[in-house]
Structure 1
Amino acid sequence: MATRRKPSSKPSEIPPEVRSEEARPPHTDAPSLAPPKFGIIIPVAAAFFLSFFYLVFVKYRIEPDLRRSIAINAAMSFGAFVLAVRMIPVAARYVLRRNLYGFDINKKGTPQGTIKVPESLGIVIGIVYLVIAILFQHFNFTSDSNWLVEYNAALASICFMILLGFVDDVLDVPWRAKLVLPSFAALPLLMAYAGHTTIIIPKPLIQYVGAAVLDLGWIYKLYMGMLAVFCTNSINIHAGLNGLEAGQTVVISAAVLIHNVMQIGASTDPEYQQAHAFSIYLVLPLLTTSLALLSYNWYPSSVFVGDTYTYFAGMALAVVGILGHYSETLLLFFLPQVLNFLYSCPQLFKIIPCPRHRLPRFDPQTGLLTGTKDGTLVNLFLRLFGRCTEQMLCIRLLIFQALSCLLCFWLRHVLAGWYK
């Protein structure tokens, strides 16, 4: 769910100034986008990557071949960032020509609220991501690699989810169907999964279960499918502000990368290290392409990400959590999304009325948002902390996302040796 109002087929529902514009013959050249907001994105990204490379090349003793693969992946991911930044304006012109655009609801009543904003630009990010991830196989995997089958299965699931997300953007799929779509997209991964189906029982519970390790069999694969469904839909419903969808993905991806490096540095098991390296290979291009999208989607947004991006980002994070065998940690990184989902359940399951857009009320006189009674974290923050601008609200939610990730790292440190 992006902050938008899709064009309606009823002329009475479209502002007069927009109707008059649409009545004219289409322009041969669509209006150009505002330049990307690098002044915000690049300093934050530079600070993170300096920390990341310090951990990889200085802090931890990592095998040279593994360091080489991470460095190649990072270089290719930077190329993905540059390519995505260049491709987004091109794709924006094409989607505008096909009338795939929306109006920013949180700017309704102002001149910005009548601007046609290109929709579904997540398709560009998904395509660039897939190209880079596929090309990376040439530098890291051999034809007989044990990881190659699962790597390609992961990419197949992500590709399937991008397709279904774009179909949703174009056809406006009902909400009930959205809950099912990720289940189909996860099938390639579930069918190709050849890893263990066991879980380590927390030490305080071993005496009640009677075993330290429990094999769940097909139940474990069912759990993986449900995790994929949750991750894709949780990002999709924790939305509605310029920069929120891409921003939360950037924060979670950064936390996942730090977690993977820390686990590689703390382990001497080659198989365990490879599992977390596998996660790095898939998350690094996700982070850089999401940064490229965020540079256009940050307030005031020049493009909307669409359900294509939210589904793609959720599936990519679910895949790395499943194949990296740290789904519990991933759910802790998703703490705001978990809270938002639980808070949204009464409306999602029609226990109480659920409007199409559960967004705050925008006051065009003051430019401030006011929280409604709808069950979303966005509205809850406004009710708890008072009215504020859309940009400030997004920043508060992203800070909460970052604090949740820090809480996860703290819990892992405190509970190490006692919980598992």
Structure 2
Amino acid sequence: MIARKRTSPVTKSEKPPTEHKPTIASAEDFRLAPPKLRVIFVISSLLCSLYLYLLCFHYNLIPVAARYVLRRNMFGFDINKRGTPQGDVKVPESLGIVVGIVFLIVAIIFQFFNFTEDSLWLVEYNAALASICFMILLGFVDDVLDVPWRVKLLLPSFATLPLLMAYAGHTTIVIPKPLVSYVGLEILDLGRIYKLYMALLAVFCTNSINIHAGLNGLEIGQTVVIAAAILIHNVMQIGASVDTEFRQAHAFSIYLTQPLMATSLAMLAYNWYPSAVFVGDTYTVFAGMTMAVAGILGHFSETLLIFFLPQVLNFLLSLPQLAGIVKCPRHRLPKFDPATGLLTGTKDGTLVNVYLRIFGRKSEKSLCIHLLVFQALACALCFLLRHFLAGWYK
């Protein structure tokens, strides 16, 4: 049996273990862990499935509603196709009521997933939905009773009352830096004048969508473009800010704009050239009010007005006829030539006619695409202005 050798109690002094220093990898040696694409794919699929379900549900609801409005003799004829077989087809009108109803259902159910009972934003959210619902009702009344356009200008001012009464946000404006030396203030409190400004902004946005129309797909197309710009702007502002209230205001705007864009895309499939349905004033006033509310409660009304640059130009061109200085016909549409299928600009003061007078005759589909591209360029101009004027203007 082999005995184990005992160690001597006196051992040689051992050197203390050297401290391990972590090695710092250079930029060339750095390797990023592979991304978890599966997680992103699963989450995106769940979100997209809900989004696509909304589109499909609304998409299938439109033909059902179209049959009902035809039974009530709510139809019209496409004036821009007069003299052709398509010009004699009865086109269902006022289908904007479908967009509005689906929007309200989605927006109301959304409260269950986002807001709590003591949420400070819940009151303003419900007030915003009340104003939008009020505007949908007034728009549908206009489609049924054919309200005179002078009365139509005042309808949004009544619809904004729930929002104005419940608004508890700030009423101050930031004076542009180049004007601070002249005004003597950096921040100016407008008080009730600010609420008057909110009401006027809602009136403008609502009616500007309504009067910049007359082509298949133009009303919904411009709404989709502006709504996309609003969503991009909100996401950019949320990512660039650390202020909780500021981020919540822009998130609030997203809550209203996202369902507007989803329902509008479903309707655009039926309203694009050649249009199978007409959205009527119900949709135009609803879309304008929704974007106005999103801009007001998101606190980016100046940016919203630049997004509406084509609508501002159309309003300025229409002002002589709207004020009664120049005779205003019922339909200020371009002249259609059945032989060529092209539209010719008339002397009426609209952006559609001015565009045709400058760039020549075009088909209805081509003209609508050109105007939507112009709308997108106006939104891109807004982003460029915000980028180059940041730090100098405000």
Instruction: Specify if TM > 0.5.
Output: yes
Query: Structure 1 residues 81-90 or 306-315, which shifts more?
Result: 81-90
- Give the AA of the match of 1:217: G
AA matched with 2:287: A
Residues 256-306 of structure 1 show CA distances to partners (whole Å, capped at 9, x for unaligned) of 000000000000011100000010111000001000111100000000010
Equivalent residue for 1:363?
337
Q: Distance in 2 between matches of 1:133 and 1:387?
A: 42
**Other structure's SS at 1:398 match:** helix
Give ranges in structure 1 of 5+ residues lacking alignment.
Answer: 1-57, 59-67
What's the secondary structure of 1:251's corresponding residue?
helix
**Residues 90 and 114 of structure 1: is their aligned pair in 2 closer, same or farther, counting only changes over 3 Å?**
same
- Count of aligned positions: 353
1:225 paired residue among 182, 195, 199: 199
Deviation for aligned residue 1:103:
0.2
Equivalent in the alignment of 1:262: 236
Contact 1:107 1:364 in 2 (8 A): yes
Q: Contact 1:371–1:387 at 8 Å: present in 2 too?
A: yes
CA distance in 2, matches of 1:299, 1:112: 11
Q: Select 1:120's aligned residue among 82, 94, 110.
A: 94
1:374 and 2:311 equivalent? no
TM-score, length of structure 2 as denominator length: 0.88
Matches of residues 9-408 of structure 1 in structure 2 within 5 Å?
Answer: 76-408=50-382
Are the equivalent residues in 2 in contact too, given 1:83–1:128 (CA < 8 A)?
no
Q: Output one character per residue of 1:308-367: Cα deviation in whole Å (capped at 9) or x when no partner.
A: 000000000000000000000000000000000001000011101000000000000000
Alignment check: 8 A CA contact 1:275 1:323 kept: yes
Q: Which amino acid aligns with 2:298?
A: G
Q: Deviations over 1:128-172 (max 9, x none)?
A: 000000000000000000100000000000000000000000000
Secondary structure (helix, strand or coil) at the match of 1:257 reads helix
Note the aligned Cα RMSD (angstroms): 1.5
Contact 1:182 1:228 in 2 (8 A): yes
Q: Any idea what the Cα deviations from partners look like across 1:89-133, whole Å, max 9, x if unmatched?
A: 000000000000000000000000000000000000000000000
Q: Distance in 1 between matches of 2:272 and 2:364?
A: 10
Partners of 1:129 and 1:272 lie apart in 2 by 25
TM-score normalized with structure 1 length: 0.83
Gaps (5+ residues) in structure 2?
A: 1-34, 36-42
> Displacement, 1:84?
1.1
Q: CA 1:161 to 1:233, structure 2 compared with 1: closer, same or farther past 3 Å?
A: same
State the identity as a percent: 76
- Over alpha carbons, which structure has the higher Rg? 2
